Structures are given as structure tokens and as C-alpha cells.
Homo-oligomer: A and B are copies of this chain.
Amino acid sequence: MPIPRAAQTQRRTRIQEAKEEQILEAALDVFSMHGFRGATIDQIAEVAGMSKPNLLYYFRTKEAMHRALIERVLDTWLDPLRAFDAEGSPEAEIRSYIRRKLEMARDFPRESRLFANEVLRGAPLIEDALKGPLKLLVDEKAEVIRAWAKAGKIAKCDPYHLIFSIWSTTQHYADFDVQVRAVLGQEKAGEGRFEDAARYLEQLFMGGLAISK
């Protein structure tokens, strides 16, 4: 009797772990490109190099696959913000936050696009996470920023929109990668574009927040 892994009691064999990884890897490819509704199990199976029923042996539904991916991404996606430290200096913290986010856009563009696709369709799967844990985390960090402004360490500004602007400028290099490359052209679109972006963004935010070097 085939007992789908998901419904099982405890131990996961090595083969299970490997196959699930293999599936999620393929699913990330497809979901990040076409969104939940635009993705098909057949295509994921093809990318994963296994048969569709085999895929459905590990994840019972398409939604289960998507949910597993989203949860994993959401979890790690906010790490940079969590690392934002109230005790550090504004310059160092904001600088490294930008850098970390930009590194994620460079190293995990599919994860960024998966998230973007989910939000674009109204975020039905992560609405609660956005209104709950995410909001809480942002509220907390916004308070830190506000305190910095009050203490005269940075210019007075809306901390929420500051965070939004860091998110958007950095994630842009993952979500709109095709456009960025097209506009930069062959010469300027090499991997160096991330260094250029980092330099520019640090300049922008340091200046915009009136943080003198």
C-alpha cells in the first residue's frame, strides 16, 4: 500500500529528503516564472525529471507543493530584516541591510520572484503572515528607525516607506532582472551590475537619510 510521505508518522528516509528537494527545486523554477495558476504539475514533473504520479506521491496536490515553497521562502526571506540591530549604528545597519537584501536578490532571484508572484495575485496564501508576523517585525524595526531620527542620528523620515524603498530597490534586481539586463545592454549587464547597484543604493540611502560618511 503506498503511503504518501506527507501523511506518515516520523522518519524520513534519505531518499525522501532528496526527492522532495528535487521536486521543490523544479517547482521553484516553474512557480517563480508562471505563478501558482500558470504553473502545471506536468511541467514541474518534467523539470524534476520524474513522472507526474511520482511527484504526487511526495506532494499530494499542487497547492501542497506551492505552500511548502512559500513557507520556506517566507521564513528565510525576512532574515535580513531580523538582523537589523537597534544597538548598531544607523549607517552600518542600513548599509548592511541593503547589502544583504541585494545579495539575496542576486543569489536567490527565483525565491524573490515566487514571492512577487504570490503578492501580485493578492497573496491569498500569506495574507495572515503579512498582517501578523511581518507587520509586527516591521513595526518593531520602524520604531528603531524612528528613535534614530528622534536622536538626530538620521534625517526625519517615514520609517515604513524607508523600509519599503529598500525592499523595492533591491528586489527589483531579481524580479525585473530581464528588464534590467535589457536596459543595461550586453556590456553593462554582467555580474558587476550588482556591485554598481550596491554602490549606487548605498549612496542614495546614505545621502537621502543625511548620514555623512
- Across the interface, do B158 and A196 meet the contact criterion of CB distance under 8 Å? yes
Residues of A113-149 at the interface with B, using a CB-CB cut-off of 8 Å, are 113, 116-117, 119-123, 127, 130-131, 134-135, 138
Q: Closest chain B residue to A128 by CB distance?
A: B182
Residue among A33, A35, A127 with max Cβ neighbours from chain B (10 Å): A35
- Across the interface, do B169 and A207 meet the contact criterion of CB distance under 8 Å? no
| Chain A contact residues: helix, strand, loop or mixed | helix
Which of A48-56, A57-65, A173-181 participates in binding chain B? A173-181
The residue from B116, B158, B169, B183 contacting A175, defined by CB atoms under 8 A apart? B116
- Across the interface, do A183 and B160 meet the contact criterion of CB distance under 8 Å? yes
Whole-angstrom distance between the alpha carbons of A8 and B169 in the complex? Answer: 45
A19 at interface, CB cutoff 8 A: no
Whole-angstrom distance between the alpha carbons of A58 and B118 in the complex? Answer: 31
Which of A9-17, A82-90, A197-205 participates in binding chain B? A197-205
- Whether A203 contacts B157 in the complex (CB less than 8 A), given A122-B178, A169-B169, comes out as yes
Residues in B with CB closer than 8 Å to A196 are 158, 160-161
A190 at interface, CB cutoff 8 A: no
- Across the interface, do A119 and B176 meet the contact criterion of CB distance under 8 Å? yes
- Across the interface, do A200 and B35 meet the contact criterion of CB distance under 8 Å? no
Q: What residues of chain A have their CB less than 8 Å away from a CB belonging to chain B?
A: 32-39, 113, 116-117, 119-123, 127, 130-131, 134-135, 138, 155, 157-158, 160-162, 164-165, 167-169, 171-173, 175-176, 178-180, 182-185, 188, 196-197, 199-201, 203-210
Which 6 pairs across A and B sit closest by C-beta, in order of nearness? A37-B38, A168-B172, A204-B208, A130-B182, A38-B38, A161-B200
